Amino acid sequence: MNSHQAYQTLNVNSDTSLADLKVSYRKLALELHPDKNKEGDDGKKFKKITEAYHILKKEFKKSNPNKTKTSQQYTRVETKKKHNFKDRSKWGPSPGQPPEENWGRFTKDFEVEDPAGWKEYEKKFWEKYNKTTNASGKNGEFDKTKEPKEPPNIFVDVDHSLCIGCCSCETIAPEVFLIDKLTRMNPKSSVINQKGAGFNKIMDAARTCPTKAISVEDVDTKTRLFPF
Q: What secondary structure letter does DSSP report for 137?
A: -
Across the chain, the runs of DSSP E, i.e. the strands, are 74-75, 82-83, 154-158, 177-179, 189-191, 214-218, 223-226
CATH fold of the domain at 3-67: Helix Hairpins (1.10.287)
Are 207 and 146 contacting, i.e. CB atoms less than 8 angstroms apart? no
Q: Residue 159, SS3? A: coil
Q: Residue 131, SS3? A: helix
Q: What distance in Å separates the CA atoms of residue 128 and residue 141, rounded to the nearest whole number?
A: 10
From 3.40.50.170, 3.40.50.720, 3.30.565.10, 3.30.70.20, which CATH number describes the 74-226 domain? Answer: 3.30.70.20
Output the tens digit of pLDDT for each of the chain's 228 residues.
888 888 888 888 888 888 888 888 888 877 776 666 666 666 778 788 888 888 888 888 777 665 544 433 443 444 444 444 444 444 444 455 444 444 454 444 444 455 566 566 666 666 666 665 554 444 444 444 567 888 999 999 999 989 988 888 998 899 999 988 777 777 889 999 999 999 999 999 999 898 899 999 999 999 999 998
Predicted confidence at residue 177, as pLDDT, reads 94
Predicted confidence at residue 198, as pLDDT, reads 92
Q: What distance in Å separates the CA atoms of residue 140 and residue 7, rounded to the nearest whole number?
A: 40
* C-alpha 62, offset from chain centre: 24
Q: What distance in Å separates the CA atoms of residue 183 and residue 13, rounded to the nearest whole number?
A: 27
Q: What secondary structure letter does DSSP report for 101?
A: G
Are 58 and 64 contacting, i.e. CB atoms less than 8 angstroms apart? no
Are 211 and 82 contacting, i.e. CB atoms less than 8 angstroms apart? no
Predicted confidence at residue 109, as pLDDT, reads 45
- Pick from 167, 164, 158: nearest CA to 102: 167
Q: What distance in Å separates the CA atoms of residue 25 and residue 76, rounded to the nearest whole number?
A: 36
Question: Domain limits of the chain?
Answer: 3-67, 74-226
Are 140 and 134 contacting, i.e. CB atoms less than 8 angstroms apart? yes
Across 72-199, the runs of DSSP E, i.e. the strands, are 74-75, 82-83, 154-158, 177-179, 189-191
Predicted confidence at residue 93, as pLDDT, reads 47
